[in-house]
Amino acid sequence: MKRTRFMAVCAMLSAMAVVLQLMAAVIPKVGGFLDIEFSDLPAIIGTLALGPLCGVLIELIKNVVHCAFTTTGFVGELANFVVNGTFVLVLGLIYKAHKTKKTAIAGFAAATLVCTITAMAANYFLMFPLYMPDAPKNVIWAMILSTVTPFNIVKGIVLSVITLLIYKKLSPIIKG
């Protein structure tokens, strides 16, 4: 029964994430390609409620489904999965050890830091070279430092604050 509930909750939260991601298509993006992914909230909530595997699965499902609706050549979805999958994985591993508000806050801080570093590396070595293969490395690095890095820090903080405000109210519903 526990496995069935896990699968059902992951599926429900994945569906919510897909809908939120599709709705985000109408919101202007920072630098033309970055947006605060409110579609990550179901993955974060799933991570806190059911563990890091649930969060990573939600991120994976959300991005695989989104591939059917996009023209990014899967680069955007790969970036989304790598960066946001890292966020929920780090958060989940820390929170799983001791489920308190203090541990959650520490998990959010660590997840934001690791996610930001992961985004820097993924954008430098993979995303920007795929999107802009002829761009000089110094231009790519400048874009990462001026746009990607501050954006991911702000995104981590915003998602953390929203989750901290809503998770306790949603937790009983998710956990049953």
How far apart are the C-alpha atoms of 156 and 154, rounded to whole Å?
Answer: 5
Supply the pTM of this predicted model: 0.90
pLDDT per position as a tens digit, 8-65: 999 999 999 999 988 876 565 555 556 677 899 999 999 999 999 999 999 999 999 9
How far apart are the C-alpha atoms of 10 and 154, rounded to whole Å?
Answer: 26
How far apart are the C-alpha atoms of 168 and 6, rounded to whole Å?
Answer: 19
How far apart are the C-alpha atoms of 75 and 170, rounded to whole Å?
Answer: 33
Residue bearing the bigger pLDDT, 66 or 52: 52
The set of residues, in sequence order, having a beta carbon less than 8 Å from that of 39 and lying 6+ positions away, is: 17, 18, 19, 20, 21, 24, 62
Q: Please report the pLDDT score of residue 100 as a whole number.
A: 95
pLDDT per position as a tens digit, 149-163: 999 999 999 999 999
Looking at residues 58-78, what average pLDDT do you find?
85
How far apart are the C-alpha atoms of 164 and 156, rounded to whole Å?
Answer: 12
Task: Please tell me whether residue 99 adopts helix, strand or coil conformation.
Answer: coil
pLDDT per position as a tens digit, 98-129: 999 999 999 999 999 999 999 999 999 988 88
Q: Please report the pLDDT score of residue 34 as a whole number.
A: 61
Asked whether residue 175 carries a pLDDT value surpassing 90, the answer given is no
